[in-house]
Amino acid sequence: MERGGYRDYFKVLEVERTASPEEIKRSFRKLAREYHPDVNPNNSQAEARFKEISEAYEVLSDPDKRRKYEQFGQYWNQTENSYSKGTGGFDVDFGRYGDFDDFINDLLGRFGGPRGSGGFPGAANFSRTSANSSLALDAEVLIKLSFAEAFKGTQRILSVNEERVQVTIPEGVKSGTRLRLKGKGNLQPGTGKRGDLYLNLEVTPHAIWHFEGNKLCADLPVSFDELALGSKITTITPDGEAELTIPAGTLPGKRLKLKGKGWPSPVGRGDLLLTLTISFPDQWSFDEIQLLENFSRIRSHHPRKGWLHSARI
């Protein structure tokens, strides 16, 4: 971490500041696989690096967050932390400011007025209100979930207007899911009126699993003999092991489906799509090399026969 708690997320993900979303995603997957806790058990440094990588991807993969980060640079963490600690954890709408000076002026106005107004230190409302505006009854809060919490469902305890509220988050939520707690928003003094509390959910990306629309997908490494000869292998799904049959002669890039092993939804579990990719060892054993040499001598298939003819200009 750099001075003042500021992280250069582009350096964290080892990409240029001009990197495209595809380049950012590609670099995240590579680094996440390298530092994932499952690959580095009992390695606190790898775990810290993995969390840092996930945090950087969470910001840079979101177009709006990336724009705010690029606009406010080193003040990104400071502004987020100041607002979340001082006002109960709401989001700052940076888009309403022309530059950082405008933001600072507004920030000073918010925290320089009398206590108890909407948005000041000690106020118990989540929503963003200015020092001179009326209190917004409806409130919003951003809740960040781990991939496992989103998959299985979880519970959170929130403090709203000095009241502890237990929230049940159902299984199968995704980033962008919005939950409503009726009558748990801000309380209007003197009237007894109370708004609703809206929970905006954000799920931390996973190193292996990703979404394509509503489908849960992953790349599955296999050996070339498992593809050529066919095999029944044991693989991992988000909630346990499953058997997968690879037909003989399957080509790399083929997608196989595990029915009912995907992401939960109100109508049941979806399917899991696994894309087969060849994984080669870092080093071949002596016996493996001998087998490959024998295979090379007796191989009847010429992989470039048609290609050589078609490639001529």
Question: Which domain CATH number covers 14?
Answer: 1.10.287.110
Which of the residue ranges 24-38, 51-65, 271-285 has the most confident prediction, judged by mean pLDDT?
Answer: 271-285
Domain presence at residue 300: no
Domain residues for the domain of 109 are 73-134
- 89 plus 143 within the same structural domain: no
- 214 plus 276 within the same structural domain: yes
Bridge partners for 210 per DSSP? 217
- 47 plus 92 within the same structural domain: no
Last residue of a domain, one of 148, 183, 205: 205
What H or E segment, with its residue span, contains residue 222? Answer: strand 215-222
- pLDDT for position 301: 86
CATH code of the domain covering residue 183: 2.60.260.20
- 222 plus 200 within the same structural domain: no
- 127 plus 144 within the same structural domain: no
Q: 143: closest CA among 202, 84, 100, 85?
A: 202
Alpha helices for 127-212 (secondary structure H): 147-152
- 224 plus 275 within the same structural domain: yes
Number of domains in the chain: 4
- 80 plus 53 within the same structural domain: no
Please identify which residue in the block is written with the tokens 């044991």. Answer: 234
> What DSSP assignment string belongs to 233-274?
EEEEETTEEEEEEE-TTPPTT-EEEETT-S---TT----EEE
- pLDDT for position 132: 45
Q: What is the pLDDT of residues 178-227, one digit of tens each?
A: 999 898 888 777 777 888 989 999 999 999 999 988 889 999 999 999 99
pLDDT band with cut points at 50, 70 and 90 for residue 104: very low
Put simply, whether the predicted model's pTM sits higher than 0.75 gets the answer no
Compute how many other C-beta atoms are within 10 angstroms of the C-beta atom of residue 74. 13
pLDDT band with cut points at 50, 70 and 90 for residue 55: confident
Report percent pLDDT > 90 for the chain. 41
pLDDT surpasses 70 at 92 = no
- 1 plus 27 within the same structural domain: yes
- 221 plus 278 within the same structural domain: yes
Last residue of a domain, one of 178, 205, 232: 205
Domain presence at residue 299: no
Q: Region 150-169: what's the mean pLDDT?
A: 86
Last residue of a domain, one of 83, 101, 134: 134
8 Å CB contact between 216 and 270: yes
Domain presence at residue 308: no
274 or 3, higher pLDDT: 274
Contacts of 31 (CB under 8 A, 6+ apart): 13, 14, 49, 53
